[in-house]
Amino acid sequence: MTQKQFLLRGTFLLTAAGAATRILGFFYRIFLSRTIGAEGIGIFHLTMPVYAFCMAAASGGIQTAISRYCAENFARNNKKGADRILLAGLCVSLLLSALTASLVYRNADRIAEVFLAEARCAALLRILAFSLPFSVIHTCLGGYFIGKKQVKIPASAQIIEQLFRIGFVFFFYRITAKNGRPLSVSAMALGQAAGELCSAGYCTLRCLLQRGSIPADAKAVGNGCAAVSSGRSCPKDLPPKKSSRSPKIRGLLEECRKIIVVSAPLSANRMLICVLQGIEAALLPQQLMRSGLGSSAALSMYGTLNGMTMPLLLFPTAITGALGTLLLPAVSEARVLDRKRQLAKTIEISFRVSLLLGIICFHIFCLFGNDLGNLLFGSPLAGRFILRLAWLCPFLYLNTTLVSVLHGLGKTFAVSLQNSIGFAVRLAAVVLLVPSRGIDGYFLGLFASQFLIFAATLVTLRQSAPLRLPVFSVFGQPLLLCAAGTCGLLLLQRILPLPRNGSWTALMLRAGIYLGFLAVLGLGAAGRKTGGHKKQEDA
C-alpha cells in the first residue's frame, strides 16, 4: 500500500468510525436525558475534567511515542523492536494509571467536595478510577496499530467501546425499570468502564492473534540473518545465541527511557491544558459579569458558546483528526527511511486538504451560520457566534494536522511549548479583554491563540522538513473556488424563486446548490490540470 492510499483509506475509516460514534452518542444523550435527567448528566460531566487529567497523566503522550517509534521500527522491518516499544509503553502507562487510580479512589470524597463542589461525584470517581487501566491499554494498543498501519483495529475499537457503553447502560435501565426503580447516574460511570474494558479486551485479543504472523524480512532482521530475506536458508553451523535476561531487561529499560523522554513533555502539556481549561471555565462567566451582564445572561452566553457553537465548528475535525492520527506514523516512516521527496509530498497533501476543508467550512458557516443556529439550537445568539467564529476554521483544521506532522518529526517539546503559549494567550484575553469588550474580547483571544500556534508551527515545520507551498495553488485556488461557489449561489438566489431563509428546506436547498457549484468547479479544475499534464507528457 502506497503512502497516499494509506492516508486516504485510513482517514476514511477513522472518519467513518468517529462519525458513527458521534451519531450513537447523540441518541445516547437523548436516552439519558429522558431516563437520568439533566441534573444526573450534569453530575456525571462534572467528573470528566478529573478523568481527562488522569488520562493525561497516565498516557497523555505515551500513545504518540508508541505510534512514532513503532512506525520507525516497522519501516526497518524490526517487529521485535516495535513489540519492545509497545511493552515498554504499557509498563510505564499501567504503572502511572495504577498510581493515579489509587490516588483518585482514596481521595474521591475530598475531590468531590472541594474541587467539584458536589459530594455525589465521589461514587462516580471511584468507578472511573477502575476504568483507567483499561483506558490506558486501549490507548497504547491503538497507537501500536496506527504505527503498524492497521487502521481498521483502532476504528473498530472506537465503535465497540461506544456500543458496549450504551448497551451496558440500556441493560442496566431494563433491570431497574423491571424492579420499578429509576436509573442511577452511577450507570453512566459503569457504562464508561464497561466500554473501556471491552475495547481494551478487543485490542489485546487482536494483538495476541497477530503475534505469530511475522513477515519474512522482519524475521531476517530479528534473527540477524540476511539469507532469509533473499530466499536462502541460514547456515546450520552457527552456534545458538545464548539467552540472557539481563540484556533483555536493560533493553526494556532503555525503551522505557525513550518513551518517557518523548511522552513527558506531551503529558505535562496536556495536564497543564486541563488545568488551564478548568481555570478558563471558571473565569469566563465571572469576567462576562464584570463586562455588565447579569449572572443568568453570562451563564447563558457561556453555555451557548461551549455547548452549541464550538461543537458545531469543531465537528469537521473528525476528518482532520483522523488525518492527523495517520500523519504521525507516515511522517515517522518517511523520516527514518530518509525519503525526503515522500515526506515533502505527504506534508503538502495534508496541508492542502486541511486548508481546503477549512476554507469551505468558513464559507459555509458565513453563508448559513444564522440558519444553523436557529434551526439546530433555536438560538439566534448561537447563529451570531457561528458567524463571528467562522474565520477560526482554517486555523483550527490546519493546526490539527500540522501538530501531528511535528510529532512525527520528533518536535514534541516545540509542540508542547507552542500549545501552552497559545492557551496562555486565550487566558490573558479572558482576564484583560473580556471585562472591557465582553465576549468579543474572548473571540479576539481565540483568533490570536490559533494564529500564533499556526505561525509557530509553520515556522518550525519549514526548519525541520522539506516543504514547498506555492502561494497561488495552495492558498489562491481554494479561495477562488469558494468565492466562485458563493457568487453562483447568490446569483441563483436572485434569478430563481428559492424558499425563504429560516426553514430546513431553504437551508438544505441552498447548501446543496453551493456544494454543487463547488463540485462542478473543482472537477473542472482537476480535469484541466490532468489535461495539461497529458499534453506535457505527449510533448
pLDDT at 471: 67
Q: Pull the grid cell for residue 349.
A: 497533501
9 has a pLDDT exceeding 80: no
Helix, strand and coil content of the chain, in percent to the nearest 5, comes to 85, 0, 15
pLDDT mean over 192-218: 77
- With both helix axes pointing from N to C terminus, report the angle between 317-336 and 62-75 in degrees, rounded to the nearest 10: 50
Most confident of the following: 22-31, 347-356, 442-451? 442-451
Enumerate the domain spans of the chain: 40-214, 471-538
Pairwise CA distance, residues 365 & 373, whole Å: 10
- Burial class for 130, CB neighbours closer than 10 Å (0-12, 13-18, 19+): middle
| Closest to 330 measured CA to CA, from 408, 399, 411 | 408
Q: Pull the grid cell for residue 36.
A: 437520568
AA letter at 234: C
Q: Residue 417 in 3-state DSSP?
A: helix
Q: Is the pTM of this model over 0.85?
A: no
pLDDT at 230: 40
pLDDT at 526: 55
Pairwise CA distance, residues 442 & 461, whole Å: 28
244 has a pLDDT exceeding 60: no
> Rounded to the nearest 5°, which phi and psi values hold at 107?
-110, 25
Contact 234, 227 (CB under 8 A): yes
Contact 232, 94 (CB under 8 A): no
Pairwise CA distance, residues 315 & 397, whole Å: 10
Q: Pull the grid cell for residue 254.
A: 532503555
pLDDT mean over 512-521: 80
| Closest to 65 measured CA to CA, from 159, 139, 150, 175 | 139
pLDDT band at 94 (very low <50, low <70, confident <90, very high): very high
On average, the pLDDT of the chain sits at 80
**CA 203 from chain center: how many Å?**
19
